[in-house]
Amino acid sequence: MAAINWMNATVVNHAVAGGRRSRLVTFSVTGRRTADGVERWDAADVRLAAEGVEHFGDVYPAGEPFAPLTFTVPRAGTAVGSRGLAGTF
């Protein structure tokens, strides 16, 4: 697996015809752990992207720091159950 060290999180903007995806935040991936059939990535330096400003009513400027993120994904062959793709904000 290739190392992941920088990512974007996108959201669907339903206010735009066709529900265009726009970048909400950018972040750096700081670590990956595997336990109990689940892979977990931690993300740091989470910041509001310029395209995400409109989703917060232009209250926060681009580059505004956000809380760290954690993404949890079941490993291949693991029953998903209640452990589906998840992220904590």
Residues in the chain: 89
Three-state DSSP class for 61? coil
pLDDT of the residue at 17? 57
Is residue 2 in a domain?
A: no
Cα distances (Å, whole numbers) of residue 76 to 26, 83, 84: 26, 12, 12
Q: Assign 89 a pLDDT band (cuts: 50, 70, 90).
A: very low
| Higher local confidence (pLDDT), 82 or 22 | 22
Question: Residue 40: is its pLDDT beyond 70?
Answer: yes
Q: Which domain holds residue 27?
A: 7-88
Considering the entire predicted model, what is its pTM?
A: 0.64
Comparing CA positions, the residue from 14, 29, 36 lying closest to residue 71 is: 29
Structure-token pair, residue 61: 């400027």
How many separate domains does the chain show? 1
**Within a domain: 80:** yes
Is the pLDDT assigned to residue 64 strictly greater than 50? Answer: yes
Note whether residue 1 is domain-resident.
Answer: no
Q: What per-residue confidence (pLDDT) applies to 41?
A: 86
Q: Is the pLDDT of residue 4 over 60?
A: no
